Amino acid sequence: MPPQPGRERPTVAFTHLGCEKNRVDTEHMLGLLAEAGYGVSADESDAKVVVVNTCSFIQDARAESVRTLVELAEQGKELIIAGCLAQHFQQELLDSLPEARAIVGTGDYQHIVEVLERVEAGERVNRVSAVPTFVGDEHLPRYRTTSEAVAYLKVAEGCDYRCAFCIIPKLRGDQRSRPIESIVAEARQLAEQGVKELILISQITTNYGLDLYGRPRLDDLLRALGEVEIPWIRVHYAYPTGLTEPVLAAYRDVPNLLPYLDLPLQHSHPEVLRAMNRPWQTGVNGALLQRIRDQLPDAVLRTTFIVGFPGETEEHFEHLLAFVAEQRFDHVGVFTFSPEDGTAAADLPDPVPAEVASERRDRLMALQQPIAAERNGAWVGRIVDVLIEQDNPTSGAMLGRCARFAPDVDGEVHVSPGEGGLCAAPGTMVPVRITAADTYDLRGEVVGAGAMVSDALAATRSRA
């Protein structure tokens, strides 16, 4: 919507909470407001009105969202509450928080300009669709909040699964995939902006296209994105059932597709998986992981687990410990179960005491830490591309990531200048020889062209 002639638009501040899917929604709201002539800022002191894009996935996330809203209200800010908390509680938020001038649902963020105009006119606005149906496209304005070199690309919205612990389908609706052509068009836009790493996100990325085309088409999407001039493409949220032979073949064939698989397995024991309403996963974990490793020897495997799910016994948990010890994942995240109103698991019998769940989380992480250190250690001596994200001009030290580390959730590479003080600016990708490793991070030094040639010759001679 173009700005109205002769009218100065105010500055609106933004606060983003929650996942990277939420971040993309925030970026579109920023883009829409900027296009309409509003000033936008990440500093709440710059504005009277603050848009808070909230998270409501688990209790801790809700508490952070509510705490942020209360703090801003106490500062005298007028609030536009967007995202999952607005979708979850709707009119209740307007009724309980006088400073809330509007609520905007997860499928309604494209209306943010209209909402702001109505708020400026003195209205209190409820812009929450009962069932979210919107999914954006490449024409929706976007003002990115990540570094110039990294961008998230949402390929679908919503989820058709009904895991017992998860409230996302209630907050985001059923799966809605974007056409391949739309995704590739936006990827090309991002490439023109200098993006070096493109991260594909949705609730279940391996189910991409099922609703739109009648079958999953992640393999076709990946091959199409392989034609875009972006060095790294990374896929998040690859559910086990979607890692079909065509998808694994795409991982082998597409040169800029990183062999990084984010598999949210949640548990290993069949009884717990059935209670989680994930029976489709029962029995596939070990076989799937072996198939991945057979076909992608350099695969980096990340997963997450929930401990303390209702009915989880010590025997169930020991099964999970044994599974993690056997599979030797590169990266593991562990969460304690959080009962959420509106989910099937909230009413399950045999709850696990919070202190037991916390103790199990600590035991599982203690088991994983030496495995993670060993997996990192296997990279010592290798020369890898590193995307530089921070630098210290005084010391020359740099901080970045290689292919095995996704932003925010994995480790980092601490890079020192190579011979002759070779350095690199943020947003550039440079070869780095890995010299040391610890549990979560790697260390290395920039490699010059001459050293790369010497290493290549040495490798050739050793093969001969």
Q: Which helix (H) or strand (E) holds 347?
A: none
Q: How far apart are CA 38 and CA 13, in angstroms?
A: 10
Residue 73 is given by DSSP the state H
The alpha carbon of 35 is separated from its chain's Cα centroid by a whole number of angstroms, namely 26
Token match 């994930």: residue? 278
Token match 């590169």: residue? 330
Are 387 and 415 in contact, with CB atoms under 8 Å apart? no
Residue 8 is given by DSSP the state P
Three-class SS of residue 325?
A: helix
159 is in an annotated binding site: yes
Are 261 and 301 in contact, with CB atoms under 8 Å apart? yes
423 is in an annotated binding site: no
Q: How far apart are CA 286 and CA 268, in angstroms?
A: 9
Q: How far apart are CA 165 and CA 307, in angstroms?
A: 12
402 is in an annotated binding site: no
Token match 């105009």: residue? 117
55 is in an annotated binding site: yes
Calculate Rg over the CA atoms of the chain. Answer: 23
Q: Report the binding-site residues for [4Fe-4S] cluster.
A: 19, 55, 84, 159, 163, 166
Binding site feature residues = 19, 55, 84, 159, 163, 166
